[in-house]
Amino acid sequence: MEPDLEAVASTSYEGTADSLGRWSGRGRVSFKSGATYDGSWSAGQMHGQGNITFPDGISYEGEFRHNKLTGKGVYTWPSGACYEGQVVNGRREGRGRLSFTKSPAVYDGQWHDGLRHGHGVLYTNSARTSYYRGNWLNDTKHGPGVMKYDNGDVYDGMWENDKKKGLGTMRWSRSRQQYSGEWDNNVPNGAGLHVWYGEGEMGVPAHAQLLMYNRYYGHFKDGRRHGYGVLYYATGARYEGYWMGDQKHGPGCFVFENGEVWAGVFAQDRPLLAPGDAFAPASTGMVMQIEDLVEEEENPAFSRRAVSNLLLCYNTELRMLYDKYCKRPSHHLPGKLTRLSFSMRAAQLWDLVNDCRLLGAQLNHSTINGILATARLAPERLRHFRQQESPHSPASLSPEQRRFWDYLFNEHAPGGSHSPAADMTFRSFCEAIVRIAAVRFQHLPSLERRLHVTLTQHLLHLVNKAKATPPAPPAPLSVLPPNTSVEAAAAALGAVHERLAAAFLEAAGEPPPPSRAEVAAALAAPEARGGAAMVAGVMLDPVYGVTAPARALAAALTAAAGGGGGGGALGHPLSFSQALLQLLWSYVTRHAYGPVQRISLEPTEDGSGFRNVVLSPEDEQELVFAMDAQLTFAEWEDGVLRIACDWTADPQAALADRLAAILSSSNSGGGGGGAGQEAGGGTEGEEAGSLGLRERSLTGNGVGLEEALLSGEAVMEGEGQDLGEALMSGGGYGEEGVEGAE
């Protein structure tokens, strides 16, 4: 301190001074204000480490710079509160921690001008199970943040001036409810999704026990359902229309569980009925939108009634089948899939069709997904009502409200046309079965006959053998390796999803999948907390929106597995034709009509290697004609799993390691090295086995698949042409073959 100010500001000083008489070094001073300082001095100024105590009992110990409390230090209040962190000009600035003795509250985070500002976490109990973690602005919660309450409730979303405002998700633990959508003034306001979770959320109850698993997606006002919205009942029924104060009020459509639609006006949660009208379905049968199927029948009205009666006759068995596969896990479904209902998923329908041996050249995954999208369409009367009530000026809506309307108009194909997570009600499931029967047995004379064969000879064996027609179809070979759980397979596929997706999209001629940074940015965006993200996903996975030709995928798989060299990751050589067989296994004749061993690898006589599975000329012909078939990402995963199951060098290794080993050699360009090497190697052979073959029209008239691929032989006349026509029309088997198999 300057010598001429010492007498005015201080009462005493004990310490050292410099040659000019200024306090320097270590010293202790008492100020006339009552404050005391003990610490380092430099040229008459507090500078360095020190401790100052103010008259009101507040003390600071830490760094000083030129008479200012600046640097890292600790503030202590008489109440016992303590701040430890960065200080600038006596104010909390930067990173710091504030705690109390009379309260368990602790704040650890960013500060500005003495206020909480930036990112930080405020714990409100000693166990640190109740907290707010997120952004602050001038001592108030502002921006994205997560609030966990003492009772277990959690809010994750946007804040403004200490109140929930913007997009966010709230989970009420005790009442088992969740809301995701727009907020204002701490309550839902705008478009959002409200889900009532049932008691059996972690285990899957039977169909009749799902009554508490309803969800509402629509508009809110002051925390209540208000405006246009949809209430999805767990039974499959729904109400879509207008609400007021949590009650159905105004024009609306009620779709009963069997698909019948009641359209009219509601008041105070009740329909306004004319004298003599009843608010109930007119019949017990399923109402399906199959006009495109029955219009080809000789008597469409009779055919529709016959199909409805047939479904009603086997209604119990169909519900048992539906409930059985609702509970069944699938390796195509993500392990952490958010479930808004316990309806059957597309992946579970794929498993059902495969277990019943209904897959074939005409009925592949892509066809099934198209059938499912059609079966999931809302009734025409409801779609017409929705079109009339949709906003005429979408630009006036908030982004979340626009996403709500977009979802309604595209709810039949959520997450992409080939998404494994697309759900279906029991009515949609029944319609899908009818459509599957129409495609699979199109050679039979009537729709009723096709459905009857599908039910009695394929489906009923799984739930009620007494009503099924023997013999039961042989069980298909499992895609998964022995002693591998579905959960472990799903986790292993998830670990290599990026590499699988990259190879699949390259074969499909599509851009690469989003990077991890792009995915992380999408998950961190406010839109990820909205209702649209909950029902349709934060970011659509591009692999579920496209298909890829089997030829390109086989070439990519051969290249990824090391070109069929037989060393390293694979214990046996993988040729192009063998890779193609694994991808198309569910659609070749040898699989469709009998329990055929997928591969039978035996050592050669000289012990130099292993023989591949023997392909008959019929097998080769089928593969030639089917190699341009469009496959989904799920079929690509299954093909890779078959390779991991049968071809890896170490069959005892963990599945994740086997998958990673197969894909470790994956490169861009997708070459068909295996095909080229099998033909004798060399540049010409490698080029012939590459993806450039996709434009050729090939067949083999008794010619091996590899030879046909490499030679580019044109379509032959005579017997080869007849076989080709048979293959193209029915996958290698005609009506007599089907009837005989049935």
User: DSSP of 175-220, one letter per residue?
Assistant: TTEEEEEEEETTEEEEEEEEEE--TTSSS---GGG-TT--EEEEEE
Q: How far, in Å, CA of 10 to CA of 29, rounded? A: 7
Q: Are 423 and 333 in contact (CB under 8 A)?
A: no
What is the enclosing helix (H) or strand (E) of 304? helix 300-313
C-beta neighbour count of 37 within 10 angstroms: 22
The rounded radius of gyration (Å) of the Cα atoms in the chain is: 35
> Which of 20-24, 134-138, 160-164, 433-437 has the lowest average pLDDT?
20-24
Does 564 have pLDDT greater than 80?
A: no
Residue-wise DSSP of 100-161: -SSS--EEEEEEETTEEEEEEEEE-STTS-SEEEEEEETTEEEEEEEEE-TTS-EEEEEEET
Q: How far, in Å, CA of 685 to CA of 676, rounded? A: 4
Q: How far, in Å, CA of 532 to CA of 529, rounded? A: 8
Token pair 């199909």 in the structure block, residue: 307
Which of 31, 34, 35, 40 shows the shortest CA–CA distance to 13?
Answer: 31
Q: How far, in Å, CA of 506 to CA of 352, rounded? A: 30
Q: Among the three residues 190, 222, 240, which one is the final residue of a domain in this structure?
A: 190
For residue 153, tell me if it sits in a domain.
yes
Identify whether residues 464 and 560 lie together within a single domain.
Answer: no
CATH number of the domain within which 177 lies: 2.20.110.10
Q: Among the three residues 131, 156, 190, which one is the final residue of a domain in this structure?
A: 190
Identify whether residues 445 and 588 lie together within a single domain.
Answer: no
Does 673 have pLDDT greater than 50?
A: no
Task: Please give the DSSP secondary-structure letter assigned to residue 484.
Answer: -
Phi, psi (deg, nearest 5) at residue 524: -85, -15
Q: How far, in Å, CA of 291 to CA of 275, rounded? A: 32
Identify whether residues 558 and 641 lie together within a single domain.
Answer: yes
Amino acid (1-letter code) at residue 139 = D
Return the percent helix, strand and coil in the chain, to nearest 5.
Answer: 35, 25, 40
Residue 482: cis peptide before it, omega within 30 degrees of 0: no
Beta bridge partners of 143: 159
Q: How far, in Å, CA of 172 to CA of 125, rounded? A: 19
Which of 277, 189, 211, 402 shows the shortest CA–CA distance to 265?
Answer: 277
Residue 333 CA: distances (Å) to CA of 9, 533, 584, 611: 75, 17, 21, 35
Q: How far, in Å, CA of 640 to CA of 644, rounded? A: 6
For residue 135, the model assigns a pLDDT of: 97
Residue 680 CA: distances (Å) to CA of 551, 673, 684: 20, 11, 10
Identify whether residues 184 and 330 lie together within a single domain.
Answer: no
- Residue numbers of the domain that contains 90: 3-190
| 739 or 155, which is more confident | 155
Q: How confident is the model at residue 569 (pLDDT cuts 50, 70, 90)?
A: low
For residue 195, tell me if it sits in a domain.
no
Which of 533, 523, 289, 544 shows the shortest CA–CA distance to 406?
Answer: 533
Mean pLDDT of 719-741: 32
Identify whether residues 337 and 430 lie together within a single domain.
Answer: yes
Q: Are 181 and 190 in contact (CB under 8 A)?
A: yes
Does 446 have pLDDT greater than 60?
A: yes
Tokens of 86: 């960065």
For residue 366, tell me if it sits in a domain.
yes
Amino acid (1-letter code) at residue 251 = P
Measured CA angle at 414 (ends 489, 347), to 5 deg? 30
Identify whether residues 580 and 435 lie together within a single domain.
Answer: no
For residue 133, tell me if it sits in a domain.
yes
Q: How far, in Å, CA of 646 to CA of 497, rounded? A: 20
Mean pLDDT of the chain: 82
Tens digits of per-residue pLDDT, 472-514?
Answer: 887 777 888 777 889 999 999 999 999 999 999 999 999 999 9
Q: Is 445 exposed, middle or buried (0-12, 13-18, 19+ CB in 10 A)?
A: exposed
DSSP, collapsed to helix, strand or coil, labels residue 236 as coil
Mean pLDDT of 230-249: 94
Does 720 have pLDDT greater than 60?
A: no
For residue 716, tell me if it sits in a domain.
yes
For residue 186, the model assigns a pLDDT of: 96
Q: Are 580 and 550 in contact (CB under 8 A)?
A: yes
**94 Cα distance to chain centroid:** 39
Tens digits of per-residue pLDDT, 400-418?
Answer: 999 999 999 998 888 788 9
For residue 480, the model assigns a pLDDT of: 83
For residue 402, the model assigns a pLDDT of: 94
For residue 28, tell me if it sits in a domain.
yes
Does 698 have pLDDT greater than 70?
A: no
Token pair 């760094």 in the structure block, residue: 63
| 559 or 130, which is more confident | 130
Identify whether residues 42 and 170 lie together within a single domain.
Answer: yes
Identify whether residues 360 and 457 lie together within a single domain.
Answer: yes
Tokens of 456: 């009695």
Token pair 């994205």 in the structure block, residue: 144
Q: Among the three residues 138, 155, 190, which one is the final residue of a domain in this structure?
A: 190
Q: How far, in Å, CA of 232 to CA of 280, rounded? A: 17
Q: How far, in Å, CA of 407 to CA of 535, rounded? A: 8
Amino acid (1-letter code) at residue 493 = L
Mean pLDDT of 671-685: 34
Tens digits of per-residue pLDDT, 196-206?
Answer: 886 544 344 44
**72 Cα distance to chain centroid:** 46
For residue 235, the model assigns a pLDDT of: 86
Tokens of 521: 């940015």
Ramachandran region, residue 702 (left: φ > 0; alpha: ψ -120 to 50; beta: rest)? left
Phi, psi (deg, nearest 5) at residue 386: -65, -40
Identify whether residues 51 and 171 lie together within a single domain.
Answer: yes
Residue-wise DSSP of 569-586: TBSS---HHHHHHHHTGG
Phi, psi (deg, nearest 5) at residue 177: -130, 160
Please count the structural domains in the chain: 3
Helical residues (DSSP H) of 455-512, grouped into ranges: 486-495, 497-507
Tens digits of per-residue pLDDT, 607-647?
Answer: 444 445 566 777 778 888 888 899 999 999 999 988 887 77
Q: How confident is the model at residue 590 (pLDDT cuts 50, 70, 90)?
A: low
Measured CA angle at 708 (ends 702, 714), to 5 deg? 90
Q: How far, in Å, CA of 391 to CA of 406, rounded? A: 11
Identify whether residues 7 and 144 lie together within a single domain.
Answer: yes
For residue 382, the model assigns a pLDDT of: 95
For residue 656, tell me if it sits in a domain.
yes
What dihedral angle (degrees, nearest 10) is formed by the CA atoms of 253, 256, 260, 265? Answer: -20
Identify whether residues 561 and 427 lie together within a single domain.
Answer: no
**Half-sphere exposure for 309 (CA within 13 Å, toward CB):** 9
Identify whether residues 466 and 581 lie together within a single domain.
Answer: no
For residue 262, the model assigns a pLDDT of: 95
For residue 619, tell me if it sits in a domain.
yes
Tens digits of per-residue pLDDT, 456-480?
Answer: 999 999 999 999 988 888 777 788 8
Which of 372, 349, 362 shows the shortest CA–CA distance to 444?
Answer: 362
For residue 540, the model assigns a pLDDT of: 83
**654 Cα distance to chain centroid:** 24
